[in-house]
Amino acid sequence: MVNTPREGRRLSRRLSFVASGRELAPAITLRRTFREFWPDTRGLRRLFAAGVVLAIVAALCEVAAIRLFGHITDEVLATRELGAFWVPAVSWLGLAAVAGVASFAGSYVTALGAERFLLGLRDRVFAHIQKLAPDFSEKRRLGDLMARLTDDVEAIEELVGSGLVKALTAAAGAVFFAGAAFLIRWDLALVTFALIPAFLLVSRAFAARFRTAAARERYSNGAMNSVLEEGLANQPLVQAYNRQPAEARRLHTEGRTWLRANMAQAWLSGLYGPAVQVIETVCLIVILGVGAWEIAAGRLTIGGLLAFAAYLALLYPAVQSLGELALTVSEAAAGSDRIIEILRTKPAVTDAPGAVAAGTRGRCRGRVDFERVGFTYPGRGRPVLREVSFAAEPGELLVLTGPSGAGKSTLAKLLLRFYDPDAGRILLDGADIRGLTRESLRANVTVLHQETLLFSGSVRDNIAYGRPDASHDEVIKAAEAAGVHDFVKLLPQGYDTPVGQRGRLLSGGQRQRIAIARAILRDAPVLVLDEPMSGLDETMATQVMQPLRRLMAGRTTILITHDLRHAPEGARIVELEPVPRESRLRLKRIGTPARRPAPSRDAHHETASGAARQPASPGMARQVVSSVSPSDRMCGAQQGTLSDPGRHAAGAPDALHGVRQGTAPGPRDDSPES
């Protein structure tokens, strides 16, 4: 059953799937697995069919070769007639050559089909995950998703692709070898066939123990990998906190558990081989005993007996291989369950039928409107946003502030259409973004995420990520504008220097500036900066501020920040407060800081009832926007709207989001750095 270490690993994976079948819920039938994944074999079926045909040719050659072996034994060895040797010997050689070529070609085309199937299915699942909101991956353990894209996809292939080929060829081989043995002596064949259940019984007895051992191995392997992954990913933390010995101990403990689980498996595989061998020996002795009796009685030749034994030696592995099919099915069922779960997850948003491209010739002016937007994350009872309205004019800088968890980053996700709002709408240049193609929408909106996201490629790759066709000069220009060029020049390989895993070979400020260069190169008219200064100290923040201003110049910018010290002068400020637990009251404020933003956000606060905490800066211009409970709505409506009173008033005046227009924003002095 377990012949090579690779097969052993495969078997343990297979058995562990069976063992943990309950959690993995292989409630999927064989038919359903085939129905779901058979279409993935389109274009590959000829390869698999060729694999079956070639494997059958090889098996037939083996049947014929054994026949020749019997013939040589009887006609040459027993009679000592050397002259009768050459023809069968050359034929045997010819058969061996044909079998070798057929076997090689069969394995090759089957492997080609299998690898292409894996490639196609993995691409399909990965492409589907990319269509889902990023939260889909973020909510899951990365290791689990990786296992689905590798082990589970492979398990499906082993059933639907190469597994099917293997099953068909094993079945054909079993029929040929059994048939050939039957032709030599049908009564002797029946005796030996009667011993086949003994193989199945031993397999069954071992499988149960193997299953437990394999499940332990898989579990401890997962635990060990987690320790490794965490230890390596958090290496700076481990070293800074002097936790190296503790981490080493943790790994050693998990490693020892894994070792014990592996030894249990090794013990079982070691025992299984001799157990099967005992049965095979029993079979052989029975055959030899009965054969000797039959030879003495003149009813069987020595060549016939040896050929008979050779057929049985090939028949038993074929039968075992068919027996293992049940394990392949279990594994594939569990794997397909997990893959189907991904494939059946519907994207939170899709392009509407008839969706159009944003803007004129793909580029919009950059006006953004949030109109009474309400949103609750799927599976969450409480809304994150309720009746949020504000607008940003083309080229305007709007600072979005508010306490942690108020939903600021969620607004960015809605603007990118990772989700659609449950209520209200978001407009880009006056067009509801639900009517735009997601590709064109996202081409017009660049988000700089709170955590700088870099790939492990070179500096150049990371800058050009949003525009892979950018020329070298364009990359350098963007890098210069972002203040990247000077430090890149000092790197050992310049723009070709690898930035390391998630850009960890660079400082936080350098990473951030590369992300700014990437955004500059992308040149989208709308920009969302989500806490661009987070994690940067004062000096770094100052260094990043200059390139940021260049990036913001001429673009509609929504700057999300807790820290109003980073709000450029003259910027309009929108404050978002969390949706209160009980009341439907929601308050947000818009203001314009004076020459310098207030040092403390508290200085801007004003209570919902209107009892103002005075702004620290005397020149602060302020608008108050409030989304109010139904009884307050009229009051809100009377206050007008932020930017287009006519449009809102013409809509549903009694449900309007209340806006109190403050002093007009002062002149912006964060204008593009020239």
Ligand X SMILES: Nc1ncnc2c1ncn2[C@@H]1O[C@H](COP(=O)(O)OP(=O)(O)OP(=O)(O)O)[C@@H](O)[C@H]1O
| Residues at the interface with ligand X (CB under 6 A) | 135, 377, 380, 384, 402, 404-410, 562
CB of 2 to ligand X, least distance (A): 44
Least Å distance between CB 400 and ligand X?
Answer: 9
Other beta carbons less than 10 A from residue 295's beta carbon: 15
Which residue do the tokens 């990043």 mark? 544
Minimum CB separation from ligand X for residue 132, in Å? 12
User: What element of type H or E holds 182?
Assistant: helix 162-184
Question: CB-wise, 188 or 412, nearer to ligand X?
Answer: 412
Complete edge-to-edge strand list for the sheet that includes strand 572-575: 445-448, 526-530, 556-560, 397-401, 572-575, 586-592, 621-627, 658-660
Residue 402 or 570 with smaller CB distance to ligand X? 402
Cα of 558 vs its chain's centroid, Å: 31
What residues form DSSP beta bridges with 663? none
With contact defined as beta carbons under 8 Å apart, do 616 and 593 qualify? no
Nearest to 118 by CA among 205, 210, 47, 181: 47
Phi, then psi, of 252 in degrees rounded to 5: -65, -40
Minimal distance, residue 508 CB to ligand X, in Å: 17
Nearer to ligand X, 274 or 378 (CB): 378
* R_g (Cα) of the chain, nearest Å: 36
114 vs 579, which CB is nearer to ligand X?
Answer: 579
In the complex, least distance from residue 223 CB atom to ligand X, rounded to whole angstroms: 27
CB of 529 to ligand X, least distance (A): 12
Give me the count of residues in the chain: 674
Closest separation between CB of residue 526 and ligand X, Å? 18
Helix (H, G, I), strand (E, B) or coil at 582: coil
Q: Classify the C-alpha dihedral 117-119-124-125 as positive or negative.
A: positive
Nearer to ligand X, 34 or 377 (CB): 377
CB of 531 to ligand X, least distance (A): 6
User: Least distance (Å) from ligand X to the CB of residue 481?
Assistant: 27
Q: Nearer to ligand X by C-beta: 138 or 469?
A: 138
Distance CA 75, CA 84 (A): 7
Q: Which is nearer to ligand X, 335 or 421 (CB)?
A: 421
Q: Which of 355, 392, 516 is nearest to 446 (CA)?
A: 516
Show the tokens assigned to 190: 């029946």
Q: Which is nearer to ligand X, 122 or 413 (CB)?
A: 413
**Exposure class string for 34-48: b at 16+ Cβ within 10 A, else e:** bebbeebbeebeebb
Closest by alpha carbon to 482, among 504, 514, 453? 514
Q: Which is nearer to ligand X, 404 or 539 (CB)?
A: 404
